[in-house]
Chains A and B, each alone.
Chain A
């Protein structure tokens, strides 16, 4: 008999891993709690401990548990956490990634970086000092970041002689605050990190709490999953390294299998998954789940680009250019309505601006406040209305986290983050021109051809870009040639567009447009036969009030197809 055992994988038991962040006001002892937890569970290697001992000896300071995490010289010298750290440790039940987040308000952006990565959070509160400004602000941030498992640690119980009343008062206060944020408190416990009470072993001093130790509290948290939601995969890229065309991205929600009908939004084009591609044959599979990075092959070749969202065909995301969001501002300069930012949502990047600051939210009381000077300042939270330069695929944060949140960039830096609370679904309507609130559809650069098989004129399906002031437009196509200077009048959206030297020079309401002698085309690229302002006013009156009775006569009177367009014979379907 051959010895089979040696070919078997030695460890098949799969351990769960949970990411936990510790947050709270500066000096309430987050780093000490974590340092103590890691030290008491023997999770730190000797090198780190020796290093901290060496530093303590050199500086004549007592051994500082927080230094086990606060690795930067500046952090140790000042005794505060500046940046977030991640460390790992394990209990019997599972593995943990422990994230330490700074509590000083100057470093809120670092706290957010740490907390955004977590699946559950602990709020650490100093028993002697109770809730302070950053305790509440951090709780508010955790709600905005979508964390719904929050534990409460009342630390430094030694400073209040392990007093039960003090503990219960703090717990009642924070639980109420969390409830106002729509959050339930998952677990609460008193402890003293400095003296090691209630970390690993139950503390005799805290016997009245009957509660869990810190280790037990960690293990009581549940691990969430995005697997049951409808499928979402924000497209990262399209690869054509060889003869395969592979759409790549990470599954943010739901699952996908070969044969599934999927939609690609914002275009909402529908196709079928034919293969989940992989480098190694052993990695090829028929089904993939939330969290996996996959390569999809589909039955139809569309023009696909990064930023599109692949979804189930039945439950696609919203397609929107306007939404409301709760945002938190991390920029040194305030958010200003009308100022343009780059918005990054999943893998899409779009130009965006705030059209209205609806109200600010006071992080201490959660009250709605009117904005000061119509600005959102550093570390402030606000409800705003956002506008985008083009429609993108998105979701409400309450239905899909990954496609319902975004960051804003201003001159290279992330200055804000937000979660979408309401969105106007514009669906399939695709605009071709945009400027501020003005939007117009555009068929000026569409290509037509004569299909000799069908003896019909067909339009070639193509991806349409969105033009705004300053953009170059394609003056020459296969089926049209426009002059370098001309005007476009779009009656159905009541917008006029001026093209000068091949560039969009202006986009204005049709009512403000005056004819200045430049060649004129309508929204489909047909010539509009006017020679004077009087002609234009008559044409406008006629064409803006078309009915089924009058339209043939009026269209024939004012419009001419052949001025700038012709119809080439399409070669794809031509057979003799």
Chain B
């Protein structure tokens, strides 16, 4: 099982802030997980299709798209940040 979290307008597009998911074993990277989630949430897939719009974090640290995910990880997807 993985915990997936969404933030800001991505959260609104998906329609939820977080979910527990159990993807098939071949879903081994953040990129693969994002594509798999996109099949369940079409508006998330739309955001993923725009280059550079979606940022990725695993266990509360930024990672690249090819980062490996493991059971129990917390994976977060969010738009570019606008704090400060």
Q: Do A and B come from one complex?
A: no
